[in-house]
Structure 1
Amino acid sequence: MEQQKPFTMGNLHWAHWLIVALSLLMTIAVWQYSKIQIQEKNENRFHREAEQVITLIIERLQKYEDALWSGVATIKSHEDTINFSQWQSFSSALHLPEKYKGINGIGVIFNVPDTALPDYLRRQQQDRPDYRIHPAHQNVYRFPITYIEPMADNLNAVGLDVAHESNRLKAALKARDSGQAQITAPIYLVQSEERTPGFLFYVPFYNSTNDSDSELIYEDGDLAIKKRQQQFAGMVYAPFIVYKLMQGTLEKARRHVGITISDDGFLLYDENHKNDKRYEKGPQFQQAFPLEVYGRSWLITIRSSSAFRNETSNNQPTFILVCGIIIDAMLFFLFIILSNANRRATKLANYMTEGYQAKSLELERNIERLKESNTELEQFAFAASHDLQEPLRTLTSFTELLKDELGSNPDKPHVIASIKYISEAAERMQCLVLGLMSYSRIGREPELMSVDCNDLLDDVLSDLSVVIKENNVKIVRATLPVILAFPTELRMLFLNLISNAIKFKNRETTPCITISSKEEDDHWLFSITDNGIGIDPKQFEHVFLIFKRLHSQDDYPGSGIGLSKCKKVVALHGGKIWVSSKINEGSTFFFTLAKSPKK
């Protein structure tokens, strides 16, 4: 006999390579799918947070506008005039620091023509002797800031004529002519020593005449504009420094995105720079929002920050990939072990066949060796399957330990989900190993006995009583014979076939299983019929192959070994097994058992 060559991976059957390759491809596909799902989830979260930022900015400006119109209403309630103490009372009632965070103050600007200037200054200097209008300018308009509260923070603004500077003046005239709230282009507030960008927010009011205020505000056309210009009395206004507005509107601690605001190319506010501790050079997501706000066009750019990346980080795809590769490797080495054992048995059988004609005595010895080799092969498969359980138990124990360790930490749901995937994969692998052990045990120490198939069927149905009741299965049974058989293996045969009939039920009909038998010349013919989902006739030759599955694990869980065990049990009894079926029309499994099976 020639010297045995060492085993190489090339000795694996192409089907083994195909199974490993498909398993690896499925692992990669699930890994990629998980990455895409998480990316889409994070993108949706970013868009929700970005839209929430825009909504909060708009709502906050509308709230400030309402406060300014309430100032107009207060002036109208005092018959178009209001003094310094009355405005202080109104401002105090607003509770600006608590209810209007980000606002620098609220004040009144009067329209003071040249003819009314002396009387205006006399009235203001009665309460405030130091009051004056500044700075001097050549414009024909005079719009001095008369009152501003809180005064302590806005002393430099008292008496400031907003007509002295073009951005302030353009927005004021636009508010006057439109009757609507307006904001200025970017300016630097005189009361701010930091020289950071800000703007003024105006709402106009008019002298009372026969026309109602609503007509002055909402009428269209040149005549309406002319009326507003003639009756323009002044404006209630609020000064804003943009970074204070953003602090009051959108505190950084409550969001995970960075904001940049520009007005016609002028940078009003910017968090997206390297000096910001949450800045991320290559953001995951970025979106620009053009926004029309009270006569100005703002461009708000929102980018995900490092806080967003930290909050949305998820290691689930990595866990899936690592666990899938581990399982694929275990499957690969299992195939190597089985293929090596099968190769040795095949080589021995070929050697015996070659020497059959010349050495009949040697042939008998070789037959004996083959029996011993097959016995060793079965023992080897059993031992290999048994030994594979130890790393699986270790993997399961450690995942349970990790689950217990993380059980009190609800902030890592993605880690807990990944541990669940590892546990489920280990359970499926353990199911395959246990199925392989069960397969290898069939016929190891058989003992022929007289078996009443009716009693045996009663025991099987009793074991399946819970699942039969849960699925509302109808059992129709004929009287079965008393036969000579191996009871443990025969019970396994009935249990597998009836369990499959229940598992692959048709969800649109009530499950029904019929069990019958027929005596023939030298054997018994049994049949188990169901009204389940059926089997494609093209798959008849494949269903009895070990590890062969016709459905996904998610749809119908299992090891793919059950029908292989049935075939081995029937062969042990000197019989055959086959199936007749059509898709969605149920299946009938036939098997024969010899009346005098050989040990």
Structure 2
Amino acid sequence: MDGLNEARLFHREQRSKYLRGTRLHWAHWCVVFLSIILTVSAWYISDQQVLQRSQEKFTRESSQVIELVKERMGLYENALWGGVAFIDANGGDVSYDDWFSYASSLRIEQVFPGINGIGVIYNIDPSRLDSFLEQQRVARPDFALHPQHTQPEYWPITYIEPEGPNKRAVGLDVAFEANRYSAINKARDSGKAQITAPIALVQDASSTPGFLFYTPFYRNGTKPASLSERHREIVGVTYAPFTMYKLMEGILDRRKRQLLVKISDQSEQLFDDIVNAREEEINQDPDPLFRRQEEVAMYGRAWTFDIESDLSFRESVANSQPAFILTGGLIIDSLLFGFFVYLARGNRRALSYAEELTVALDSLKEQSVRLEKSNADLEQFTYVASHDLKAPLNSIKQIVGWLEEDCQDVLPEESKKHLELLTTRCTRMMKLLTDLLEYARIDRREYSDEPIILKDLTRDILFLLGVEDRFICEVPEDPILIPRSVFDVVLRNLISNAIKHHHDDHGKIVIRSEIGENGRFFYVEDDGPGIPDDLHSKALEMFQTLKPRDQVEGSGMGLALVKKLIEYHGGYLSLETGRKVGTCIVIFWPHV
């Protein structure tokens, strides 16, 4: 009996030991999880190193692109200042033959690739026009100014070499067009080199984007100290016309770059590799690895460089090391897990064998049945758990496959419209958030009065809005004392509203100022469609627009923001009633 009990005890202990061996121990799981963590960590570190090297390469090459453009523009500037020095050395005036000899000595096509020519523009007072034309027609009988304009002075292109491809520019009076005239005035006023906003050169039959580069020269060969003296002593400018895509061809060889470059001046595009490069040179990446946007000050203008990597860049930085590390690590982890499972199954077979040895004992048989049932439940659990774990992995795999397939095809037009609508509404939301933030910050700022001239302020606003050639703004020139930053926001919003809601692409805005008993009244009138009297209150509320939201680009915060700004300074804003044409906004600003 004692021997039987000892045998049962022995078999019970053996069974307990084998039972523990049929399950994976916590130590096994720790080893597997640590192995997976090490694999993922090694993959992540390797992937980040590859990404960092790629980022450094992109940053280096994109910076080189920008520096090359700046360096080449500096070279062109030096050539123009050389022309100024040549004119000064000749007493401030050169003949057609003199300039031809100087330009020929520069060997423009070889030394200055990308430049269309180099020339001289004189500043001609109307009283000197006849004598100037007579002087020029000695060498060129057909010399004439064109086109006609209403400016109080003339800035004709007098010389340009080589003249053949630039013949249409000879005699062109650059005062006829706002961008040309504005830049030449900046050059005269500052005494520095300036470039124009984007224009189409008259000698460019395809009317591609370009610009003019000016360097001023004055009487006696020196730049006067004051602005009034510069106006009086200006003689003219040396200038160079540029077609942007030719300039970029001369600076950057597309075949030697792994980057796509786009350059814009404010909202106007100057150059785009995708548009200007030959089809065989375009190697656009649908999903670029890197993008960079940088604004660069360029002789009185701000050029925005948008640079992205192309397919050749992706190929040059491709590195399979992270993928090898991840794949190899996961294979090792799987083998390790399979080895542990194999050991567990071996122990389970050993337990079955032990159960067969105790078949003669009833109690051991009962325990064997329960153990077999437990093992069956464990196997079922293992199967279910395995199936449930595989299902998400299969789903992820399918999703990745779908994404890969979608990226290879062009999106349908309907999806493009949806994306465009989403972008538009996101932009409106960003604008709304910005205006809300500005609206909320009004009560937390301090402002101080300073003298300003309304005419200068409105001219700057129209220039920034890009409508100075389409909208006329009549403004008094008397100086006023008012917080400049606040009043700039007020006028900018009111002028912008008048332009956005105007029924035509050109119009007139009149700003009047009157001194009252306790402050100053401002009247901002436009000749637009106007606002009905019954909608005046609605127009001054937040988030209100008088047109459907998809037909107006504003956030509906403009007048509400202006109203709160004015009220914060103790004034008020109202809309004049009873008008049949246009809108008149009345502002009262109290004396401090």
C-alpha distance in structure 2 between counterparts of 1:349 and 1:203, whole Å: 102
State the partner residue of 2:291: 286
The answer to whether residue 166 in structure 2 is matched with residue 154 in structure 1 is: yes
Q: Deviations over 1:420-467 (max 9, x none)?
A: xxxxxxxxxxxxxxxxxxxxxxxxxxxxxxxxxxxxxxxxxxxxxxxx
Name the structure 2 match of 1:256.
Answer: 258
The sequence identity of aligned pairs, in percent, is 43
Distance 1:239 1:8, change over 3 A: farther
Between the aligned partners of 2:307 and 2:21, the Cα distance in structure 1 is 55
Matches within 5 A, 1:167-186: 167-186=179-198
Q: 2:306 aligns with which of 301, 309, 330?
A: 301
Q: How far is 1:326 from its partner?
A: 2.6
Partner of 2:38: 26
Match of 1:115 in 2: 127
Distance in 2 of aligned mates of 1:297 and 1:154: 27
Distance 1:163 1:320 in 2: 67
Distance 1:9 1:272 in 2: 66
Q: Secondary structure at the match of 2:164?
A: helix
Match for residue 58 of structure 1? 70
Which of 320, 328, 332 in structure 2 is aligned with 1:323? 328
User: Per-residue CA shift, 1:256-284, capped at 9, x if unaligned?
Assistant: 22222222312222236799733334333
Q: What is the alpha-carbon distance in structure 1 between the residues aligned to residue 276 and residue 89 of structure 2?
A: 51
The separation in 2 between residues aligned to 1:32 and 1:8, in whole angstroms, is: 37
Out of 96, 110, 126, the residue aligned to residue 98 of structure 1 is: 110
Look up the equivalent residue of 2:201 and give its one-letter code.
Answer: L
The letter for the 1-side match of 2:301 is: R
| 8 Å CA contact 2:196, 2:211 repeated in 1 | yes
Q: Which residue of 2 aligns with 1:500?
A: none
| Mapped partners of 1:242, 1:273: distance in 2 | 12
After superposition, residues 412-491 of structure 1 pair within 5 angstroms as none
With over 3 angstroms needed to count, the CA separation of the structure-2 counterparts of 1:8 and 1:121, relative to structure 1, is farther
**Structure having the higher Rg:** 1
1:251: Cα distance to partner?
2.1
The reply to whether residue 163 of structure 1 matches residue 175 of structure 2 is yes
Instruction: Check if 1:314 corresponds to 2:319.
Output: yes
SS of the residue corresponding to residue 138 of structure 2 reads: helix
Q: Contact 2:22 / 2:347 at 8 angstroms: preserved in 1?
A: no
Q: Aligned partners of 2:239 and 2:149: how far apart in 1?
A: 21
Q: Pairwise mapping of residues 205-224 of structure 1 onto structure 2 (< 5 A)?
A: 205-208=217-220, 213=222, 215-216=223-224, 219=225, 224=226
CA 28–63 in structure 1, closer or farther in 2 if over 3 Å, else same: same
Q: Is the 8 A contact 1:106 1:237 kept in 2?
A: yes
Give the Cα separation in 1 of the matches to 2:19 and 2:94: 102
Task: Give the equivalent residue in structure 1 for 2:79.
Answer: 67
Kept after mapping to 1: 8 A contact 2:120/2:237: yes
Match of 2:200 in 1: 188
Q: Secondary structure at the match of 1:191?
A: coil
Q: 1:10 Cα shift?
A: 5.2
Q: Deviations over 1:152-199 (max 9, x none)?
A: 211111111111212111111111121111111111100000111111
Determine if contact 1:7/1:340 at 8 Å carries over to the other structure: no
For residues 532-558 of structure 1, the C-alpha deviation after alignment (integer angstroms, 9 at most, x for no partner) is: xxxxxxxxxxxxxxxxxxxxxxxxxxx
State the distance in 1 between where 2:89 and 2:314 align: 53
Contact 1:43 1:285 in 2 (8 A): yes
**Who is 1:46 aligned against?**
58
- What are the within-5 Å matches in structure 2 for residues 191-590 of structure 1? 191-208=203-220, 213=222, 215-216=223-224, 219=225, 224-271=226-273, 277-335=282-340
Judging changes above 3 Å, is the alpha-carbon distance between structure 1 residues 156 and 8 closer, same or farther for their aligned structure 2 residues?
farther
Query: CA 1:136–1:340 in 2, change beyond 3 Å: closer, same or farther?
Result: closer
SS at match of 2:271: strand
TM-score using structure 2 length: 0.53
State how many pairs are aligned: 343
Deviation at 1:349, TM superposition (A): 9.7
Per the TM alignment, residue 354 of structure 1 is displaced from its structure 2 partner at its CA by 13
Aligned match of 2:365: none
Letter in 2 for 1:61: M
Report the AA paired with residue 18 of structure 1. Answer: C
Give the aligned residue type for 1:249: I
Aligned alpha-carbon RMSD (Å): 3.4
1:89 counterpart letter in structure 2: S
CA distance in 2, matches of 1:199, 1:44: 33
For the 8 Å contact 1:206–1:233, the answer to whether it is kept is: yes
CA distance, structure 1, for counterparts of residue 44 and residue 306 of structure 2: 30
Distance apart, 1:11 and its partner CA: 4.4
3-state SS in 1 of match to 2:227: helix
Query: Cα gap change, 1:240/1:265 in structure 2, threshold over 3 Å: closer, same or farther?
Result: same
Q: Is the 8 A contact 1:108 1:235 kept in 2?
A: yes
Partners of 1:273 and 1:279 within 8 A in 2: no
AA aligned opposite 1:157: A
CA distance in 1, matches of 2:325, 2:310: 27
Letter in 1 for 2:319: N
8 Å CA contact 1:274–1:281 kept in 2: the answer is no
Within the candidate set 151, 157, 160, 1:145 is matched to 157
Supply the distance in 1 between the matched residues of 2:21 and 2:255 (Cα, whole angstroms).
58
1:128 equivalent to 2:140? Answer: yes
Q: 1:91 to 1:10 in 2, by over 3 A?
A: farther
How many angstroms apart in 2 are the aligned matches of 1:315 and 1:273? 33
CA distance in 2, matches of 1:341, 1:297: 75
Q: Deviations over 1:383-427 (max 9, x none)?
A: xxxxxxxxxxxxxxxxxxxxxxxxxxxxxxxxxxxxxxxxxxxxx
Deviation at 1:235, TM superposition (A): 0.6
Change (3 A) 1:9 1:259: farther
What secondary structure does 1:239 align onto? strand
The whole-number CA distance in structure 2 between the counterparts of 1:9 and 1:326 is 25
Deviations 1:27-78 (A, max 9, x none): 1221122222222322232222222222222211111111100010111111
Hey, what's the Cα distance between the residues in 1 that align with 2:287 and 2:334? 37
CA-CA distance at 1:305 after TM superposition: 2.4
SS at match of 2:308: strand
Given that 1:72 and 1:205 are in contact with CA atoms closer than 8 Å, whether structure 2 keeps it comes out as yes
For 2:41, what is the secondary structure of its paired residue? Answer: helix
- Residue aligned with 1:147, SS: strand
In structure 2, the CA distance between the partners of 1:111 and 1:88, relative to structure 1 (3 Å rule), is same
Distance 1:113 1:175 in 2: 18
**Residues 319 and 99 (structure 1 numbering): CA distance in 2 closer, same or farther, change over 3 Å?**
same
> 1:130: Cα distance to partner?
2.3
Structure 2: runs of 5 or more not aligned: 1-10, 361-592
> What displacement does 1:340 show?
6.3
Q: Distance in 1 between matches of 2:231 and 2:97?
A: 28
Flag the 1:49–1:162 CA change in 2: closer, same or farther, 3 A: same
